[in-house]
Structure 1
Amino acid sequence: MERGCATVTVEAAWLPTDAQIDSSRVVDFARWLGTEGIVDLSDPRDFRELQAWSAAEPALFWEAVAHYFGVDFATEATEVLSSSEMPGARWFQGATLNFAREMLKHGAAEREAVILVRDDGHRESITFGQLRDQVAAVAGALADRGIGQGDRVVAYLPNCIEGVVAFLASATLGAVWSQTGMDYAPTAAMDRLGQLDPTVFIAGTGYLFKGEQQDRREAVAELRVLLPVDALVVSVETGGVDRDDTTPCDVTWEQLQRFSKPVTAPVDVPFDHPLWVLFTSGTTGRPKGIVHGHGGALLEQLVSPGFHMGVDEADVFFWFTTPNWMMWNAQICGLLHGATIVLFDGSPTHPDTGLLWRVAQDLGVTVFGTSPGYLQACARDGLEPGRELDLSALELIGVTGSVLPASSNRWVRDHVRSDLQVGSMSGGTDIVGIFVASAPNLPVYDGEISGTALGVALEVWDERGNRLPAGQTGEMVITRPMPSMPIAFWDDPEGERYRDAYFDVFPGVWRHGDAITITERGTIVIHGRTDSTLNRNGVRLGSAEIYEALESLPEVLDSLVVGVELAEGGYWMPLFVVTDGGRDDAALRTRIVETIAGRTSRRHVPDEIIVAPALPRTRTGKRLEVPVKRMLQGTSPRRVTSTGAVDDVDALQWLIDFARKRNGDSATATTVLPTDTYEDWRIYHEQDLPRVLAAALDVFAEKGYHGTTTRQLADRSGLSVPGIYHHYKSKQDILFDLMMVIVDELVERSRFAVAQADDDPRAQFDALVSSMLLFHVYRRKGAIVSTSELRSLESGNRRKYLDRRDELQALLDQIIERGVEDGVFRTPYPGDAGRAIASMCAGVATWYRPDAPLSFDPLLDRYLSIAEAIVGLR
């Protein structure tokens, strides 16, 4: 990461008035702290003083939050925070409560609680009284069918009132909730919901998009078959699509509310009892299920909308979101504060981009949440909502999902209202909450987030774990536990995936994966993700799902998708495809878009489809997502990849040229191509390795993995330490990548040698053993690292390395077995012979020196003779 000041401006673009500050709930809370004798702040109106105390005293702060908001604990905690260790901190031990009880205890019975708006103009709503009655009825029906604590209730629904009711009914019983939107294809939904082995499956019939009904009855039927268990199917008519005889249905939504005794007393569960599972996904593997508890989610959602957005019973709270995004969970928590919440089903730009502003006007929305992308679309379309509509009720525009550019702040002032606060914030599915945000008593600076959220001990660190001063860019870390941190990942009993996700770089400290700067004013600038996860408007998308969708198109031979954070706060998600015959036509692009949208969701559709002649992969078949993303962001190709690490140098060069052309750089690269001679092969790899790996090859061989520091790697490579971590998130990743390059070379070179030999066991055996000996002599440093540092790899990486290395062992075993069958070899133990020969070849590297008395050719002959003796050459 580059260092340097990221300040956009030193002049505040918005300042709260004295009346706004004094009437805010967060200032009332600060004064209450003094009245209760918890802490005497020198100035209760000073947000940063309150924040500093909340970060330094997390147990006192979160206990105070619970008391201030009047959380109804059925059983009080014996200890608020048992340990500050992360992961492993335990909050409010002994306490019992119920999330649904807290959600439903506010709001006058006759006040509207939930309003649903669709993009075709349809509108419906229920009051708080009706909401409480429906939740009790559905909970009763589920309880009659044996649903209770720990059972999983999953939903395949659009944004709808029934989804809110079903979630609260599930929480009432202590069941665990999870859902996906109906724009997800059945296979994509199953990848998430199927992990949970659900007891209840609540399914809609359709949803609305751009004014048209999307009939999803067949998708529901397919998903029902795909789910691994025989769950109770509850059918809900949604999106204006009627249920028919073919719709899977054990009980209708209407029946669920009519024939059971309502549950009016929610089940009290432990503070960390699972409440919901939200799914996120990286670049490979199935989506990860993140589990949050009743108490942690509750406290976070009291603070986030309650203090930072000032939401209370007088508000109408509308955040444009979908059930696939954590903001759905966050928005419905407006009910915790007695606010009316607004759900939206459809496209925000149909029939035009101004639709959401008209919804805000018509419903008297006071807090409106959206994304930077939507504000940018409004600017592009020339909207004038402030002049054309009555938005006088609006008090705050909340923005999250990606980096908010300064130009969007200015557009709101110029085209909506000059005195309107724009509250940029950032958090994540990981905590279903915020790390940094606005506040009613903080100024707004264009292009910056106003401050660190309450209860968050946030710092900026370099790669060695040193805290960086204001104005320098580094990793965003959280140094003290928060109750909203996940209680676990689903199906991760040992917590290995959880630790790897957040604590692998800095043990005991949460590393979120964002590159940020804290300015002198205490504001925050987020520069983007430091990994390769697609993160479009705050919704993390799995690239694997896009690739799987494209597999159904025979004309698409290969593909690569990346997400690129742009300098001005934009986000560009290009898809590179290789097609049969190299065609590049509009019809193909249309089919690609339709396929991705149909099999995953519209949010997975790329911003641009680029036809490439070929796409390179690593020698183990992995796509080059991170290197390509970095090149498109302007990083030098030699700093992020190596021609020696890919299977198609020409394809890599095409991507390099594409990135340079896009970035306005016409420079050309020089590359050293491999040849068939082993010495040139060695020179090629050692000269053309990325700088970090080349340095690691030397230092790991000299000092060993545990004796090597990141500073030593930086010094040897000529990079800064942040430069090292621009490419690798940990020293472990550097070691693993290096060892895979080494073993890839060994395996591929050996396969090449065998392929060039005559087709008989003796010739192939001699060629393979000679190749292994040549490798270990010429790549002595690599062989030593590959052999001695195996124990330093983490279990998952060790398995991947061994799987690759075992390919060579299997090839050797096959040749020996064939030789035994043909009578060329006479060993009675071919498997043991193969392992002994592989160990012997690797052992050569531990003592051989180029200047040794025994020259290379006699050494090769001697060890080849030993290998032949081991197999009993006749």
Structure 2
Amino acid sequence: MTEPLWKPSEQRIRQSNMYRFMQQVNLRHGTSFADYDDLYQWSVTELEAFWAEVWEFTGVRASVGYTAVIDDSTRMPGATWFAGSRLNFAENLLRFRDKRIAIIFRGEDRIRRTLTYDELYTAVARTALALRHSGVVSGDRVVGFMPNMPESIIAMLAATSLGAVWSSCSPDFGIKGVLDRFGQTKPKVLFTADGYFFKGKSIDSLEKIAGIVQEIPSLEKIVVVPYVGEYPDVSALPHAVIFDDFSRNDAREMEFVQLPFGHPLYIMYSSGTTGLPKCMVQSAGGVLLHQLKELVLHTDLKREDTIFYFTTCGWMMWNWLTTSLAAGATLMLYDGNPFHPAPDALWRMAEEENISIFGTSAGYIAALKSMGVKPRRQFALASLKTMLSTGSPLSREDFHFIYSEVKADLQLASISGGSDLNGCFALGNPMGPVYEGELQCRGLGMKVFAYDENGSPVVGQKGELVCTAPFPSMPIYFWDDKDWKKYHSAYFDVFPGVWTHGDFIEVTERGGVIIYGRSDATLNPGGVRIGTAEIYRVMEQVEDVDDSVVVGQEWQNDTRIVLFVKMKPGKELTAELKDRIRMAIRRHASPRHVPGKIIAVPDVPYTLNMKKVELAVQKMIRGEEVKNKDALKNPEALEFFADIQELKH
């Protein structure tokens, strides 16, 4: 049996929030749970009791209590959660008002800023009053086209304190990408910055903003945060005002509008690489409760922690990170390139800021390893207790890299979910061991299985990730989807009444989860389903290859695996290297994984959230049009995949 890479000490287990929560459940329900597996099984069979305990344990603030946890736990979608309750999302995140640091911000400009909880409350109060004077009321849309900076959080909290619906994009989105998102929802107010920094350069955003504003006639106010310049000229923007001028008032107290649990909070977006992005509307109570469960229980977040996630305002991890304020922790925000001015930049920051929970993408970890960065040898990381990874599957080798070159004694929590639920299906367990290549557990309250083609749960085999019971952070609806067709086709067309997420997974005998990639990008040579992550894992070990993307090509009544590789500078894809790649894949994956074609490409296309766009590459090699290329970080990379002669024989 595989040995774990890490086990928590008995002291760490007993000091964890998860352990305290388990003891609370035992005390109140007459149970005698001793480990996570028992607690998990109870959480998915006793949904009402479980979510009521989460509400209690995390201290949800509500002006009116609930009359029922859920009206019908068999109805999905459409179940009503915490009927009768009234609360405000921003009030829950601003429950602390003291001198403890709420936010530390660092960007490429090297200027460090901090806000205490008291200062954050005041800044939000003043911005909320300004929005109220601008006519913003409950249900209006307020959007941010912002760097990951304190003003982004201030604007979101101010908007949601009034019951407005928040949505955001990062400033590296192109005009069309922004319009494809904000243009659908008709926002009233736009918060933005005059620009941002990336790789040591300041990038002006004002011209782009003018192009965006011109196409969204619903906008009545543009609020500009000076970031790259001290006095940006906003005269070309209609209804524009500088942030400090907008929020210049004497407000010290706030009136938090009390709203139903299911009131809209966020509009999140699908990637938009295969069509117009879906606008997923999520509820204030659902997001709050779900994210508190994940942060407080699964991540073991406490008041004394400093939590960091490398993210932008265009990725759900920004929303997830922000809810850490409800636990009274310190948020570490960083905006810019993670490898500027040097590949170890974020780890220098981790040492200087005593970061205890460090979150990033699997792609970042793979890049760190290839650049030869070894944080444990370069920095003192005594405060670091947990490392989080998401965005794509983390390879077994990268699990080992973390423990050998970052820190031996930490909880490595590979987590997986999506913008659709603003949270996770599988994630970390501070009471349990970590095994290579495996997410520690299915999330509490998430009735997750791997389904085979017949809709039967399988263990130790690959299958579709499904969730067979409702959960609070399910989208309440999709924007402009009156007949619910988009919603149903997104999740419920494969297995009626069961959420099918689109991931290809395995639930292990010990209750962990292995992610094999997107199920719509799985390969089917000879009718056998293969996850792309298994091939990427092997490719990470090929020294001369910088990156790769693998797709299936319909060929002679079967699927041919095609592997595209981006070579490192000065390296060439020779016949000998192709043979080595095939041998490595055969040995470390299986003969069925061996690609029929291996082709060198100048670049690999990614979304702005750094996910490989396998489906877009597949469309290109079929000769189909790829729409919404503004959703890509490097859309020009796609052009090479059109009309490749080598794929015609």
Instruction: State if a TM-score over 0.5 links the two structures.
Output: yes
Work out whether 1:524 is the aligned partner of 2:513: yes
- Contact 1:404–1:447, Cα closer than 8 Å, also in 2: yes
The alpha carbon displacement at 1:82 in A equals: 0.4
Work out whether 1:21 is the aligned partner of 2:49: no
Q: Which of the numbers 31, 34, 37 marks the counterpart of 1:40?
A: 31
The alpha carbon displacement at 1:231 in A equals: 2.4
Looking at structure 1, the residues matched to 200 and 30 of structure 2 have their Cα atoms a distance apart, in angstroms, of 54
Match of 1:312 in 2: 302
- The one-letter code sitting in structure 1 at the alignment partner of 2:646 is W
Work out whether 1:487 is the aligned partner of 2:455: no
Match of 1:368 in 2: 358
Looking at structure 2, the residues matched to 252 and 454 of structure 1 have their Cα atoms a distance apart, in angstroms, of 44
Q: For residues 273-314 of structure 1, what are the alpha-carbon distances to aligned partners after superposition, in whole Å with 9 as ceiling and x for unaligned?
A: 000101113543211111110100010111111111111110
Match of 2:584 in 1: none
User: Superposition pairs for residues 785-864 of structure 1, below 5 Å?
Assistant: none
Match of 2:114 in 1: 125
Match of 1:393 in 2: 383
SS in structure 2 of the partner of residue 207 of structure 1: strand
- The one-letter code sitting in structure 1 at the alignment partner of 2:422 is V
- The one-letter code sitting in structure 1 at the alignment partner of 2:131 is L
- With over 3 angstroms needed to count, the CA separation of the structure-2 counterparts of 1:615 and 1:440, relative to structure 1, is closer
Q: Which of the numbers 199, 213, 217 marks the counterpart of 2:202?
A: 213
Match of 2:543 in 1: none
Work out whether 1:115 is the aligned partner of 2:83: no
User: Superposition pairs for residues 260-299 of structure 1, below 5 Å?
Assistant: 261=251, 264-299=254-289
Looking at structure 2, the residues matched to 112 and 20 of structure 1 have their Cα atoms a distance apart, in angstroms, of 25
The alpha carbon displacement at 1:656 in A equals: 5.8
Looking at structure 2, the residues matched to 615 and 307 of structure 1 have their Cα atoms a distance apart, in angstroms, of 45
- Contact 2:344–2:375, Cα closer than 8 Å, also in 1: yes
Match of 1:136 in 2: 125
Q: Which of the numbers 567, 571, 576 marks the counterpart of 2:535?
A: 567
TM-score w.r.t. the length of structure 2 is 0.83
Looking at structure 2, the residues matched to 230 and 622 of structure 1 have their Cα atoms a distance apart, in angstroms, of 32
The root-mean-square deviation of aligned C-alpha atoms, in Å, is: 2.8
Match of 1:49 in 2: 38
Looking at structure 1, the residues matched to 178 and 550 of structure 2 have their Cα atoms a distance apart, in angstroms, of 24
SS in structure 1 of the partner of residue 308 of structure 2: strand
User: Superposition pairs for residues 522-561 of structure 1, below 5 Å?
Assistant: 522-532=511-521
- Contact 2:506–2:513, Cα closer than 8 Å, also in 1: yes
Q: For residues 163-205 of structure 1, what are the alpha-carbon distances to aligned partners after superposition, in whole Å with 9 as ceiling and x for unaligned?
A: 0000000110000000111111122111101111111111211
- With over 3 angstroms needed to count, the CA separation of the structure-2 counterparts of 1:529 and 1:30, relative to structure 1, is same
- Contact 1:187–1:226, Cα closer than 8 Å, also in 2: no
Looking at structure 2, the residues matched to 430 and 471 of structure 1 have their Cα atoms a distance apart, in angstroms, of 26
Work out whether 1:499 is the aligned partner of 2:488: yes
Q: Which of the numbers 78, 84, 88 marks the counterpart of 2:67?
A: 78
- The one-letter code sitting in structure 2 at the alignment partner of 1:244 is D
- The one-letter code sitting in structure 2 at the alignment partner of 1:201 is L
The alpha carbon displacement at 1:616 in A equals: 4.3
Looking at structure 1, the residues matched to 33 and 512 of structure 2 have their Cα atoms a distance apart, in angstroms, of 21
- The one-letter code sitting in structure 2 at the alignment partner of 1:177 is W
Q: For residues 633-656 of structure 1, what are the alpha-carbon distances to aligned partners after superposition, in whole Å with 9 as ceiling and x for unaligned?
A: xxxxxxxxxxxxxxxxx9587326
- Contact 2:516–2:532, Cα closer than 8 Å, also in 1: no
The alpha carbon displacement at 1:263 in A equals: 5.3
User: Superposition pairs for residues 96-107 of structure 1, below 5 Å?
Assistant: 96-106=86-96
Which is richer in helix?
1
Q: For residues 419-448 of structure 1, what are the alpha-carbon distances to aligned partners after superposition, in whole Å with 9 as ceiling and x for unaligned?
A: 122111111101111110111101000111
- The one-letter code sitting in structure 2 at the alignment partner of 1:500 is S
- Contact 2:287–2:422, Cα closer than 8 Å, also in 1: yes
- The one-letter code sitting in structure 1 at the alignment partner of 2:328 is G
Match of 1:437 in 2: 427
- The one-letter code sitting in structure 2 at the alignment partner of 1:490 is W
User: Superposition pairs for residues 163-242 of structure 1, below 5 Å?
Assistant: 163-240=152-229, 242=231
Looking at structure 1, the residues matched to 111 and 645 of structure 2 have their Cα atoms a distance apart, in angstroms, of 53
Work out whether 1:301 is the aligned partner of 2:291: yes
Match of 1:352 in 2: 342
SS in structure 2 of the partner of residue 158 of structure 1: coil
Looking at structure 2, the residues matched to 33 and 197 of structure 1 have their Cα atoms a distance apart, in angstroms, of 45
Looking at structure 2, the residues matched to 178 and 301 of structure 1 have their Cα atoms a distance apart, in angstroms, of 17
Match of 2:464 in 1: 475
SS in structure 1 of the partner of residue 503 of structure 2: strand
The alpha carbon displacement at 1:574 in A equals: 7.9
SS in structure 2 of the partner of residue 368 of structure 1: strand
Work out whether 1:654 is the aligned partner of 2:643: no
- The one-letter code sitting in structure 2 at the alignment partner of 1:12 is P
- The one-letter code sitting in structure 2 at the alignment partner of 1:147 is V
Looking at structure 1, the residues matched to 417 and 276 of structure 2 have their Cα atoms a distance apart, in angstroms, of 23
- With over 3 angstroms needed to count, the CA separation of the structure-2 counterparts of 1:143 and 1:399, relative to structure 1, is same
The alpha carbon displacement at 1:216 in A equals: 0.8
- Contact 2:521–2:551, Cα closer than 8 Å, also in 1: no
- The one-letter code sitting in structure 2 at the alignment partner of 1:318 is F
The alpha carbon displacement at 1:246 in A equals: 3.6
- With over 3 angstroms needed to count, the CA separation of the structure-2 counterparts of 1:56 and 1:204, relative to structure 1, is same
The alpha carbon displacement at 1:69 in A equals: 1.7
Work out whether 1:154 is the aligned partner of 2:143: yes
SS in structure 2 of the partner of residue 418 of structure 1: coil
Work out whether 1:31 is the aligned partner of 2:23: yes
SS in structure 1 of the partner of residue 64 of structure 2: coil
Q: Which of the numbers 451, 473, 489 marks the counterpart of 1:461?
A: 451
Identity of aligned residues (%): 37
Match of 2:502 in 1: 513
- Contact 1:160–1:238, Cα closer than 8 Å, also in 2: no
Match of 1:848 in 2: none
Q: For residues 540-570 of structure 1, what are the alpha-carbon distances to aligned partners after superposition, in whole Å with 9 as ceiling and x for unaligned?
A: xxxxxxxxxxxxxxxxxxxxxxx96452446
- Contact 1:138–1:262, Cα closer than 8 Å, also in 2: no
- Contact 1:183–1:602, Cα closer than 8 Å, also in 2: no
Q: For residues 310-333 of structure 1, what are the alpha-carbon distances to aligned partners after superposition, in whole Å with 9 as ceiling and x for unaligned?
A: 111100000000111000001111
- The one-letter code sitting in structure 2 at the alignment partner of 1:434 is C
The alpha carbon displacement at 1:234 in A equals: 1.2
The alpha carbon displacement at 1:572 in A equals: 3.6
Question: Which residues of structure 1 form unaligned runs of 5+?
Answer: 1-8, 534-562, 577-585, 587-591, 625-649, 658-874
Equivalent residues, number = 567
The alpha carbon displacement at 1:135 in A equals: 0.6
- Contact 1:16–1:441, Cα closer than 8 Å, also in 2: yes
Question: Which residues of structure 2 form unaligned runs of 5+?
Answer: 523-530, 541-546, 553-568, 570-600, 628-641
SS in structure 1 of the partner of residue 106 of structure 2: strand
Match of 1:379 in 2: 369
- With over 3 angstroms needed to count, the CA separation of the structure-2 counterparts of 1:306 and 1:602, relative to structure 1, is closer
- Contact 1:205–1:242, Cα closer than 8 Å, also in 2: no
- Contact 1:236–1:253, Cα closer than 8 Å, also in 2: yes
- With over 3 angstroms needed to count, the CA separation of the structure-2 counterparts of 1:530 and 1:233, relative to structure 1, is same
User: Superposition pairs for residues 602-641 of structure 1, below 5 Å?
Assistant: 603=610, 616-617=622-623
Which range moves more in the overlay, 199-208 or 258-267? Answer: 258-267
Looking at structure 2, the residues matched to 566 and 227 of structure 1 have their Cα atoms a distance apart, in angstroms, of 44
